């Protein structure tokens, strides 16, 4: 029973590869090139997976497109350029740093910076922790102090 569970765990830990046998090229060298190119292309549906790992219909179409271009004798660079020309730099898992991809590269850092700045401003405006009084609290009047003493009752 333990062996079966271990085998199941190993199968679940294996990387998912969505390439179907009917998509594969007959020439192993060309198929290896197609896989290498596919690992660098983003599934525009899943967005965080390569087209090699995604089972989305559009990812399949992109895999077939890559294999078609390789079959036509295109170089790896020409295949990538062709796909980028059709889908834009967003289709690359590692897009170049350019004007139109600057948000992709700088966005996470900008969010962290703005969050940190917001936290800093919030902490500076918040009352001091542990002081026991808020800055706007007025002292108690004699009548209020007498009422508090009455409510508290006799103290030993």
Please give the Cα distance from 125 to 56 (Å, whole number).
49
Which residues fall within 8 angstroms of residue 100, CB to CB, at 6 or more apart? 88, 89
Q: Please write the tens of the pLDDT for every residue from 109-153.
A: 999 999 999 999 998 887 665 555 556 678 889 999 999 989 988
CATH architecture of 7-92: Orthogonal Bundle (1.10)
Locate 95 and state its tokens.
């897009």
Domain ranges within the chain, ordered by starting residue? 7-92, 98-123
Q: What is the pTM assigned to this prediction?
A: 0.55
């Amino acid at each position: 029973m333990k062996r079966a569970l271990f085998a199941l765990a190993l199968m679940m830990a294996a990387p998912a590869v969505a390439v179907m046998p009917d998509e594969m090229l007959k020439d192993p060298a060309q198929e290896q090139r197609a896989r290498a190119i596919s690992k660098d292309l983003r599934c525009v549906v899943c967005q965080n997976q390569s087209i090699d790992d995604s089972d989305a219909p559009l990812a399949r179409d992109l895999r077939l497109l890559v294999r078609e271009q390789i079959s036509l004798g295109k170089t790896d660079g020409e295949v990538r350029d062709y796909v980028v020309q059709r889908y834009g730099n967003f289709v690359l898992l590692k897009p170049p740093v350019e004007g139109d991809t600057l948000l992709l590269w700088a966005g996470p850092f900008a969010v962290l910076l703005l969050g940190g700045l917001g936290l800093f401003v919030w902490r500076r405006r918040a009352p001091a922790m542990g002081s026991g009084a808020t800055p706007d609290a007025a002292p108690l009047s004699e009548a209020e102090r007498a009422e508090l003493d009455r409510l508290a009752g006799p103290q030993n």
